[in-house]
Amino acid sequence: MKEGVCYIAVDQAINAAETVKNLLTQFYIPSNWADIIRISNSYISFIASINSNCNVQKLIKTVTTNPTTLLPAAVSRIGGGFILEIPSIYLKMKKSCQCYDAAKYAGNLFSLFMDYYI
């Protein structure tokens, strides 16, 4: 499966956040300060990339939709998903040995429920 531009942007932002976290735990070392600033500036670019590539406005519109419209549509998507998609995604989540894989499958469930795909 080929990752889309949104997926790549989110993946880069997660990796940058992890790097910033690791560097901040070593903030007391002055030689790391330049790296913290460099990665933080890159993180701003990653956030802008997520905003432009991931259709964030659609997600906000979906989340803020009237519940009387959102819930029946979500329930029907989940009902249809129980036929094939949800059991296979759940089994993959259960068998995954890494948090990253489990989160990826949880994202698939989120996509099914909210009709928003990365």
1 and 30 share a domain? Answer: yes
66 and 88 share a domain? Answer: yes
The whole-number pLDDT of residue 110 equals: 76
What does the alpha-carbon distance between residue 116 and residue 114 come to, in Å, rounded to a whole number?
Answer: 5
DSSP state of 36: H
**H helices within 25-84, ranges in order?**
33-53, 56-63, 67-81
- Please, which contacts does 17-26 make with residues 24 or more away whose CB atoms are closer than 8 Å? 17/43
The whole-number pLDDT of residue 60 equals: 74
59 and 48 share a domain? Answer: no
> pTM for the full model?
0.46
The whole-number pLDDT of residue 39 equals: 76
The whole-number pLDDT of residue 14 equals: 79
50 and 63 share a domain? Answer: no
What element of type H or E holds 112? helix 99-114
Total domains in the chain come to 2
Pick out the chain residues at pLDDT < 70. Answer: 1-2, 63, 115-118
Parent domain of 90: 55-118
